[in-house]
Structure 1
Amino acid sequence: MASFSVEDFVGNGVLKDLLPTLLEEGWDDIPTLKIMNSEDTDAMNMTRQQKDALEIRSYLHDRALLQYGDKLEASGKCLPELLSLSTGDLSSHFGMKRGHIARFMDRTGACEDPLLKSYAPLTARKMNSTVSRNNSNFKSYSSVSSKKMQTISSMNYDKSLEQSLADFKIKDGYIFKGIVAAGPAELRACGCVQPPPVVDSVAPYSSIENISVQKLTPEYKIGMEHLVKTKTPPMKAVELWRDKPAVILCIRRPGCIMCRAEAHQLYAKKPIFDALGIRLFAVLHEHIESEVKDFWPRYWGGVVLFDRSMEFFKALGGGQLLRDKFISGFIFNPRAIANYKRAKAMGIDQNFKGEGEIKGGLFIVGRDKSGIAYQFIERNFGDWAPVAEVIDICSKLRVS
């Protein structure tokens, strides 16, 4: 189970009574809770039992194994003691399935983004001079100044953030894909099927600024209703990045296991985006209320928007929707199969409701009218922009 509901995260154990205090102190979403350090927990007057529970549940959340949280916490053991147990003990005492035991014992993190390894080398694309002039929101920084970051914790958060950014720094030898990026164009079905072409230039800013979108959910916080009770009026997309840069994640289908995995791994880095002054939005091109409820806040705890006219999706395709058939785009496509296996390893559920052939992608848009800083296109089903690259781009945006 992978969920960004704080209530699901704390479960029925010793952290449940802390919910009101956590809300009051601003620890009101899971990505923020998981970056608490020892000084933060001491300031909350957490008991040793509560600290152990937080460590256990953070570890389980990274591996999409929260369903075992209550049982493991009730054992009274700390995380190192649980990790030292045998496979037989985990199965007999806690009812863990064999595959879940393997994920639990994998200390490298089953839900970490492996794209930097699996997608390199990738095709590099360069923006033309017109695009360069229209996207003036880039500025080269050797590091991100902590003075410009919004802090979540008043104690050691700057230090923690610097370490987080260092972890996501583009490593030597990694091929940066450029302002317009996509997965590799591999031949399918032994060369009998050609991969769909993707655009080489960034979408013009004019193609997205006036898109009419409707907010379906707010940003999730403790105790918030699972959906906005009253329908919000449509708004122009430019309002999303009027004051701060924004990451716009265009979801192909919210019930798709690969789309859910992409959303989950991106939103998990929310504290870093918060500190960089970047807003996160997920965009759907189809509104099925039951699908929105299943998607939010389990796999995405941020704002969810509805793009009725599919203009964001058309912008990704250079003015036309990018489509692919299930047989040619998935069954005969080794890259899509690999993407599916990666998402499956995260323990995420799926369904097949709704339209699933329209490709998605991601935009990073600068503040106000400064332009599109980055555009990733889902060439293969399940492609997503490497988190390290997204964070690297975001860290270079000019934030006032």
Structure 2
Amino acid sequence: MASFAVEDFVGNGCLQGLVSKLLEEGWDDVPTLKIMNADDMNALNMTQRQKDALEIRSYLHDHALMQYADKLEESGNSLTELLNLSTVDLTSKFGMKRGHVARFTDRTAAFGGDSFSEAYNRQVRRRTSSSSESLYYRKDISPVTSRKQSMMKSLTRTNTDISLEQSMADLAIKDGHVFKGIVAFKPDEPRACGCVQPTPVVENVAPYSSIENISVQILAPEYKIGMERLVKTKTAPMKASKLWRDKPAVFVCIRRPGCIMCRAEAHQLYAKKPIFDALGVQLFAVLHEQIESEVMDFWPRYWGGVVLFDRSMGFYKALGGGNLLKDKFISGFLLNPRAISNYRRAKAMGVDQNFRGEGETKGGLFIVGKGKSGIAYQFIERNFGDWAPLSEIFEICRRLQNPQESQLDSITSIQQQD
């Protein structure tokens, strides 16, 4: 699986000598580095070989094929030339497995991605600047800031083509939260001929008071080039509400950091970091166990953002309406076709796994508005390995930027129903 450590991304090739310059110019994490365009490369005086290497590695990272990055870069070919090679050449010259060849030559979308987000990624990761970009690309702002502006405009255009469930757009004026979020993936059903009943799941978004005073501890910071792989000095516990005091935040509650499905979910979410940056939204991963070796395996390979330790399991209890949502391995996985399907999806992405830690407590995802505006969205892992749809997450984050627009949409929807 593609790592979010910049050192792993650039490898030992021609990009390695650029690391210090990339750090100086603000290209200090993998998701941001991958959206670099032709103007950005020219500003760094990159050679054609370095440009080709970055394009190859970005493509391989999207397709979970980074194990071939060094060999493909050493060939001296551009990405276009490599994509035009035959299956025999890719197998014989680079040792690429036939299944990986099929993945490599599939240019339609990144492997394991979301249709909306990948279409968006293809739009913003152009290697040449469009005429529309040149209208607002100014020399008096940093390249990274310019890319965020470009992504914000592109995201706004793309969102107009996305249709989402109406319940997500409805405003909850009461209960202290902004939106009525979709709280679970699909309704669970009895399994094993009715012998296994579904786990009870609350249908309402948790009240803000259930997460406001949760005590959390930072286990790992947001990853940047040259940073130590783990915080050496443990930080003091802090009140969770401090984290969203100034900016909205997404909290993905991980069931177990060694779980193959949890790692795949975290990876595909953090891969969209530039979009969240453009929307002004922070990203946090929440763990309910503190196993140092597991944190080091999880960060920054599968998650390059801040990792929090929720000792009291407050976020997890809030997902269950005050109680932890749990399921046994046999009933929740072996006898659950949806969980097995989720496992196969993660397995196909090339994710490693282990079985250390407690994996029965289900996780989920929260989007919390700035200040005391409340919980905007909540997703519950009803079946092991359920993911919150990225299109819904992006839409909610966009609406948090303009709550008046969201309220207008809700009023319009009510009037149409009447």
Question: Are 2:60 and 2:66, in contact at CA under 8 Å, matched by a contact in 1?
Answer: yes
Partner of 2:199: 196
1:278-313, Cα deviation, whole Å (9 max, x unpaired): 111000000111100000000000000000111110
- 1:229 to partner: Cα distance: 0.8
Change (3 A) 1:351 1:235: same
Per-residue Cα deviation, 1:66-86 (whole angstroms, up to 9, x for no partner) = 111111000001111111112
CA distance in 2, matches of 1:49, 1:285: 45
Q: 1:210 is matched with which residue: 190, 209, 213?
A: 213
Distance 1:314 1:358 in 2: 10
What is the Cα deviation at residue 343 of structure 1? 1.0
SS at match of 2:232: coil
Bigger drift between 178-187 and 322-331 goes to 178-187
How many Å separate the matches in 2 of 1:245 and 1:173?
A: 21
CA contact (8 A) 1:40 1:155 kept: no
Partner of residue 345, structure 2: 342
CA contact (8 A) 2:27 2:33 kept: yes
Query: Counterpart in 1 of 2:112?
Result: 111
1:190 positional shift = 4.3
Q: How does 1:95-244 map to 2 (within 5 A)?
A: 95-107=95-107, 108-113=109-114, 153-155=144-146, 157-167=148-158, 171-172=162-163, 178-187=180-189, 188-244=191-247
**Long gaps (5+) in structure 1:** 117-145
CA distance in structure 2 between the aligned counterparts of 1:172 and 1:277, rounded to whole angstroms = 23
How far residue 175 of structure 1 moved from its aligned partner, in angstroms, is 6.2
Distance 1:367 1:348, change over 3 A: same
Between Structure 1 and Structure 2, the one with more helix by share is 2
Moved more, 263-272 or 89-98: 89-98
Which structure 1 residue ranges, 4+ long, deviate > 3 Å from structure 2?
A: 154-157, 164-170, 172-178
1:223-265 deviations in whole A, cap 9, x for unaligned? 0000001111100101111111110110000001110111011
The alignment's C-alpha RMSD in Å is 2.1
- AA of the residue aligned to 1:278: V
Which residue matches 1:14?
14
2:205 and 2:378 in contact (8 A); partners too: yes
- In structure 2, stretches of 5+ residues that fail to align are 118-135, 169-179, 404-418
CA offset at residue 174 of structure 1? 5.4
CA contact (8 A) 2:201 2:320 kept: yes
Give the whole-Å Cα distance in 2 for the aligned partners of 1:86 and 1:175.
46
Distance in 1 of aligned mates of 2:258 and 2:267: 13
* Secondary structure of the corresponding residue to residue 396 of structure 1: helix
**Which residue type is aligned with residue 68 of structure 2?**
Y
**Which one-letter code corresponds to 1:228 in the other structure?**
V
Higher relative CO (CA 8 A, sep ≥ 6), structure 1 or 2?
1
Equivalent positions of 1:1-400 (< 5 A) are: 1-107=1-107, 108-113=109-114, 153-155=144-146, 157-167=148-158, 171-172=162-163, 178-187=180-189, 188-398=191-401
* Identity score, percent: 70
Are the aligned partners of 2:185 and 2:382 in contact in 1 as well (CA < 8 Å)?
yes
Work out the CA distance in 2 between the residues paired with 1:190 and 1:85. 51
Q: Say if 1:301 and 1:168 are closer, same or farther in 2 by CA, change over 3 A.
A: farther
Change (3 A) 1:185 1:282: same
SS of residue paired to 2:307: strand
Q: Which residue matches 2:411?
A: none
Deviation of 1:398 (Å):
4.0
How far apart in 2 are the matches of 1:242 and 1:203? 18
Give the distance between the partners of 2:192 and 2:329, measured in 1 at CA.
13
CA distance in 1, matches of 2:72, 2:225: 23
Residue 286 of structure 1 aligns to a residue whose secondary structure is: coil
- Which residue in 1 is equivalent to 2:414? none
Write the letter of the residue equivalent to 1:109.
Answer: A
Is the contact between residue 168 and residue 387 of structure 1 (CA under 8 Å) also seen in structure 2? no
Q: Using the alignment, how far apart are the partners of 1:175 and 1:351 within structure 2?
A: 39
1:98/1:175 Cα in 2 relative to 1: closer, same or farther (>3 Å)?
farther
Asked if the contact 1:250/1:284 (under 8 Å) is kept, the reply is: yes
**Alignment partner, residue 125 of structure 1:** none
Post-superposition CA distance 1:72-130 (Å, at most 9, x none): 000001111111112222222112223222221222221312699xxxxxxxxxxxxxx
Query: In the comparison of the two structures, how many residue pairs are matched?
Result: 368
Offset from partner CA, 1:119-160 (integer Å, 9 cap, x none):
xxxxxxxxxxxxxxxxxxxxxxxxxxx9xxx98624454233
Give me the whole-angstrom Cα distance separating, in 2, the residues matched to 1:37 and 1:115.
Answer: 21
- Structure 2 counterpart of 1:122: none
Question: Matched residues in 2 for 1:33 and 1:309: separation?
Answer: 36
